[in-house]
Amino acid sequence: MDVLQMMAQAVIFILPSYFANSIPVLLGGGAAIDGGRKFSDGNRLFGDGKTIRGFFAGIFAALLVGSIQAVFLPGTAWDIYGGNPHTYVYAGLLLGTGTMIGDLAGSFIKRRQGVARGKQSVILDQLTFLFVALAFAYPIASRMITIEAVVFLFILTYFAHVAANVLAHKWGLKKVPW
């Protein structure tokens, strides 16, 4: 497999995660997923920025992207590695769930470090969701995603996440550009 093909397959693979990570900015809001509860350190578990609606909207978005991939991308990526079109849907569910749990984990860690909501934490803000999403999808993606693809995705995700957040801030969708 050449480098461009690997990169294209990696992007196709991770698209549900990218959508899951971004859609809560548009569709989130409402009740906080932690219900206002605090951890033993006295800080909130996740904070007001992590909502029930945003969490499930992210998972649904990933599932939708996986379903669209199943319809429009038969014979690519998953199929090559022994999957079928339904595997895209399953991958969307795993990637979306992993993404949203990873986002919560990043927020949980930031609260433990005393980082206030809206304050930047470079690695936690950009890459925690990806790490957990990849871990969730590993059982079905282990043959498809190489270490080179993972390295590529971490680099791409970092820069894509920074650029997307700057744009979301510029368009008034986010209060801060990270």
SS3 assignment, position 32: strand
User: Average pLDDT for residues 155-168, to the nearest whole number?
Assistant: 89
Instruction: Estimate the crossing angle of helix 85-112 against helix 122-141, to 10 degrees.
Output: 150
Residue 14, SS3 per DSSP: helix
101: closest CA among 17, 30, 157?
17
Percent of the chain with pLDDT over 90: 57
Which residue carries 């860690």 as its tokens? 109
Indicate the domain borders of the chain.
3-170
Residue 121 has pLDDT above 80, yes or no: no
pLDDT band at 122 (very low <50, low <70, confident <90, very high): confident
Q: Measure the CA–CA gap between 10 and 1, rounded to whole angstroms.
A: 12
Is 134:101 a contact under the CB 8 Å cutoff?
Answer: no
pLDDT of amino acid 1: 63
**Separation CA 51–CA 76 (nearest Å):** 35
Quick check: 45 pLDDT over 60?
A: yes
pTM, to two decimals: 0.89
